[in-house]
Structure 1
């Protein structure tokens, strides 16, 4: 599908990816597949889980916890392009399952912004190559993606800069998206810096226990919607 190029004065619209356009955590799905490639990777992950698992669940240590599993899944891989090749193989062999996880309502909203000539970008905690490949190969969208920078680390790959919380705003600015954010869509409390920077924040598919917090810290009347993500909170979207 072709879209008009963004207007010179086009508003900037930012979408999160996981639990926003995609039902689930795309990075976790990829790295589980990487771990499942060999029994010894699975064993190492099980041994690391009692320590790394709780770290993933706590925001201040999330990056370190995720990096442990990324490292185990990529032992022996030293170049980012080798990871890109594995991402392509993963998507090709899981295309139908991935397509089923893309949220039609979310893609409709993304389409409308692009048809209006808005400057649309996806900002995600996943590797940008993963979100970009899913959108291109499965959803036929060529939308720009800013995401976590992955590179060599101790004989494997690891997150060098995690596109997460305040760093997501920093990485967007560094990528050239310096204008004010007109609208932002995200499910996550970790994206509060992005949502609070947007003139029109929209919370989509939040955890039910986070809804009250979003209503407290975001402007009155902020939409809190469910775009068809089972088990998540938010008002049903038309």
Structure 2
């Protein structure tokens, strides 16, 4: 049964959600690219060969994006258009529906739905491919929500990010699409500090334990730091 939500008014408050570790328990893009690699023995071999070089790069924040790009190139080699890549994403999501559904965080989805029922302008802004977030949200009757994500295109015989929806770039991409006056923002990551600081009411959800105190220092006093059901992550637990 399809859930019906009111159409937000132009003056409705703007609410922005991150996706990974906020609505979804984990890194949805990594799960996709791991599947693409594991289903092909040659891709698996190539990934193993580059791991001594690229593995340490992924482990360090300043070089993480470059390290991940090596695995993304292996995972998508032979694809030449964003349309082809999106078709693969849709196949992946349908094939793994039960597993993906289990990673959607029920409390997070409840907050997400409550904003939509209230008539708020709800937007998802994610570093993942936008088609991936759209396809996953469609499982839980949240199709139609605007999704801004990393843009992809041809790259050296494969598909790669041509514009990464991350950090300050995420804010630029939101503004370009007219999402400027942010009332509430939800995210787990210090990479989203520009987003959280831009919001009148930032909410940190499911942060790494090691980043909780940092969030308390750099965000306004009293900013909620919550755990919405991500095991192994920080934040105040949900009330029973």
Please give the TM-score of this superposition, normalised by the length of structure 1: 0.96
Runs of 4+ in 1 over 4 A off after TM superposition: none
Shift of 1:203: 0.3
* 1:63–1:162 Cα contact (<8 Å) kept: no
1:197 alignment counterpart? 198
The counterpart of 1:150, out of the listed 145, 152, 161, is 152
**What pairs up with 1:40-119 in 2 under 5 angstroms?**
40-119=42-121
SS in 2 for 1:158: strand
Q: CA deviation at 1:52?
A: 1.9
The offset of 1:37, in angstroms, is: 1.8
SS across alignment from 1:236: coil
Shift of 1:7: 1.4
Contact 1:150 1:160 in 2 (8 A): yes
Give 1:135-214 correspondences, 5 Å limit: 135-136=137-138, 138-142=139-143, 143-177=145-179, 179-214=180-215
Q: Distance in 2 between matches of 1:57 and 1:16?
A: 22
Tell me the equivalent position of 2:16.
14
CA distance in 2, matches of 1:23, 1:161: 24
Equivalence for 2:33: 31
Cα distance, 1:58 vs structure 2: 2.9
- Mapped partners of 1:84, 1:58: distance in 2: 29
Q: Contact 1:6/1:117 (CA < 8 Å) preserved in 2?
A: yes
SS in 2 for 1:139: coil
What is the CA–CA distance in structure 2 between the aligned matches of 1:175 and 1:59, rounded to whole Å?
A: 28
Q: Deviations over 1:5-49 (max 9, x none)?
A: 111211110000000000000000000001012111011111112
- Structure 2 partner of 1:3: 5
Shift of 1:237: 2.2
Structure 2 unpaired stretches of 5+: none
Tell me the matched-pair count.
Answer: 236
User: Is the aligned partner of 1:233 residue 2:234?
Assistant: yes
Post-superposition offset of 1:59: 3.1
Q: Which shows bigger deviation, 55-64 or 18-27?
A: 55-64
In the alignment, does 2:125 pair up with 1:123? yes
SS in 1 for 2:183: strand
Greater Cα offset, 40-49 or 150-159: 40-49
- Residues 182 and 199, structure 1, Cα contact 8 Å, conserved in 2: yes
CA RMSD of aligned residues (A): 1.0
TM-score (norm: length of structure 2): 0.96
